[in-house]
Amino acid sequence: MINIDKLEKISKLIRYFILISTTRAGSGHPSSSLSAVELMSTLFFGGFFKFKINHIEYINNDRLIFSKGHASPLMYSLWAAAGAVSEEELLTMRKFGSRLEGHPTPNFPYVEAATGSLGQGLSIGLGMALNAKYIDKLPYYTYVLLGDSEMTEGSQWEAIQIAAHYKLDNLVGIIDVNRLGQRGETIYGWDIKAYEKRISSFGWETITVDGHNIKEIADAYENALSVKGKPTMIIAKTIKGKGVNLLEDKNDWHGKAISKAQMDTALKELGNVDKKIRGEILNPEQVNIPEEGIEEYDKIPMEIDKIATRKAYGNTLVNIFSKYPQIVVLDAEVGNSTFSEIFKKRFPQRFFEMYIAEQNMVGTALGLSLRGKIPFISSFSAFLTRAFDQIRMSQYSNSNIKFVGSHAGVSIGEDGASQMGLEDIAMFRTLLVSVVLYPSDGISTEKLVEKAAAHFGNVYIRTTRMDTPIIYSKEDDFKI
């Protein structure tokens, strides 16, 4: 039985934290935070979310991603209500040097992934859920808090498709339908049935709730945790700015802190806040990942004469897997062109078809990377431009993704400019600590793909369609 009275008290405390931290900062998104207070406090302290608060790196912790990253004041306040952040630290939010940045980054260690560019969290969660279900085979759940406005991003629907395809019943999305985007009403306003119809049509379980009714929310989580064979979306009708008269369901308050005087009024409305109360997050199940050794297998010999670097890439993935068993390979339905299919044929359990949906592929890779995997993800280099925003954002999450773009340059000829990777180097060179590798032959490909696996951080490898002659020898060394 959940203790509704206590959850209400904690929710009040969280509202207090949201208001004092944003007003002190003089900026931020209190109204977008206030709408999801009950959704998150019930998740955290209603016995659903399981997390070792003193062991952040624990492999079986549940995962929570704020896809609506601008609700960071809520996130920090949640952890404060759990006792992991002091009220004093909350007041440093958005100050230079504080762990509590305007949008979440892993500088605050409870943040799973940096967010703030909308429409990316569900894909990241998908990667973490995929990891739990198919790779680490762990019982943890992944929760993603979504904004209603961001549901128009196509990347969300990519994630919705692929999560259903992989039957990720360990993935739970929560949409905070507070009706108002940054500049006015969202495309569907408070029509939560519109979301339900669309999302369920893709094969998700959907549950609609009043997002301020703790009992309804708790029932929804309980139901979500019993769903089998498909992911669940909880669609919650909420009020933006809930709990503060000045803000409730008001336009033109997006991304604005209230003044000190307004806060004093708001805190009076809030009434008595029990500042000593703290919520308890349950511990996850104690588990170990069984060490699954990779059986001995035949390596693929290097061609002597010539080989396309894209093919050498596929061969090398196979050859280094025993040394880097964290490798996971994703492809955007062109594995027979990028030659990731060579790996797929040998190690199908470590290959995930991501279909033609590059944005979600990158988000998924980020989720896998954050769970300790080394994702190698491939498409035509031209089509990786599709995911530039996801690529850009991944760098703020200490990511370790190996991007592989094939068919680089004009040499592909008659297929034409649409298929030519001409912008890829410029794109990947914009990243902090950018590593761009462009092997010219089979041997340099072999060496550089292994270097990429060994190097912690994002790496871009560019491959060519046509065969090129072998010009290096096995003794040549390459450094990143």
User: Smallest distance, Å, CB 341 to a second copy?
Assistant: 7
Can you give the three-state secondary structure of the chain, one letter per residue? Answer: CCCHHHHHHHHHHHHHHHHHHHHHHCCCCHHHHHCCHHHHHHHHHCCCCECCCCCCCCCCCCEEEECCHHHHHHHHHHHHHCCCCCHHHHCCCCCCCCCCCCCCCCCCCCCCCCCCCCCCHHHHHHHHHHHHHHHCCCCCCEEEEEECHHHHCHHHHHHHHHHHHCCCCCEEEEEEECCECCCCECCCCCCHHHHHHHHHHCCCEEEEEECCCHHHHHHHHHHHCCCCCCCEEEEEECCCCCCCCCCCCCCCCCCCCCCHHHHHHHHHHHCCCCCCCCCCCECCCCCCCCCCCCCCCCCCCCCCCEEEHHHHHHHHHHHHCCCCCCEEEEECCCHHHHCCHHHHHHCHHHEEECCCCHHHHHHHHHHHHHCCCEEEEEEEHHHHHHHHHHHHHHHHHCCCCEEEEECECHHHHHHCHHHCECCHHHHHHCCCCCCEECCCCHHHHHHHHHHHHHCCCCEEEECCCCEEECCCCCCCCCCC
Instruction: Using CB under 8 A, pick the residue from 427, 435, 461, 470 that binds a second copy.
Output: 427
22 near a second copy, rule: CB under 8 A: no
- Residue 275 backbone class (left: φ over 0; alpha: ψ -120 to 50; beta: rest): alpha
399 touching a second copy, by CB under 8 A: no
* Closest CB to a second copy among residues 107, 259: 107
Among 197, 275, 299, 323, binds a second copy (CB under 8 A): 197
* Binding of a second copy by 392 (CB under 8 A): yes
Binding of residue 256 to a second copy (CB under 8 A): no
423 is catalytic: no
**Contact with a second copy (CB under 8 A) among 73, 181, 241, 442:** 181
Between 76 and 115, how does the x/- string for binding to a second copy read (CB under 8 A)? ------------------xxx----xxx-x--------xx
Tell me the number of residues near a second copy by CB under 8 A. Answer: 71
Residues 221-240 close enough to bind a second copy by CB under 8 A: none
Residue 394 lies near a second copy (rule: CB under 8 A): no
Q: Which of 419, 436, 450, 451 binds a second copy (CB under 8 A)?
A: 419
Q: Which of residues 357-376 bind a second copy (CB under 8 A)?
A: 357, 359-360
If the CB atoms of residues 434 and 440 are measured against a second copy, the closer one turns out to be 434
Looking at residues 119 to 158 of the shown chain, list those that interact with a second copy (rule: CB under 8 A).
Answer: 119, 149-150, 152-158
Among 6, 24, 50, 198, binds a second copy (CB under 8 A): 198
**Per CB under 8 A, 213 contacts a second copy:** no
Among 420, 428, 431, 368, which residue's Cα sits nearest to residue 404? Answer: 428
Residue 208 is a binding residue for a second copy (CB under 8 A): no
Hey, which residues between 28 and 47 contact a second copy (CB under 8 A)?
none
Give the nearer residue to a second copy in terms of CB position, either 275 or 429: 429
Instruction: Using the minimum distance from each CB to a second copy, give the nearer residue, 212 or 311.
Output: 311
- The residue from 153, 158, 341, 358 that is catalytic is 358
Minimum distance from residue 194 beta carbon to a second copy (Å): 9
Nearest distance in Å: CB 390, a second copy: 8
Contacts of a second copy in 305-334 (CB under 8 A)? 333-334
Q: Among residues 417, 433, 475, 479, which is the contact residue for a second copy, using CB under 8 A?
A: 417
With CB under 8 A as the contact rule, which of the stretches 126-134, 179-187, 221-229, 450-458 interacts with a second copy? 179-187
Residue 58 binds a second copy (CB under 8 A): no
Cα separation, 99 vs 455, whole angstroms: 27
Distance in Å, CB of 218 to a second copy, minimum: 28
348 is a site residue for a second copy (CB under 8 A): no
Non-local (6+) Cβ contacts of 96 within 8 A are none
> According to the binding rule CB under 8 A, does residue 74 interact with a second copy?
no
Catalytic residues: 358
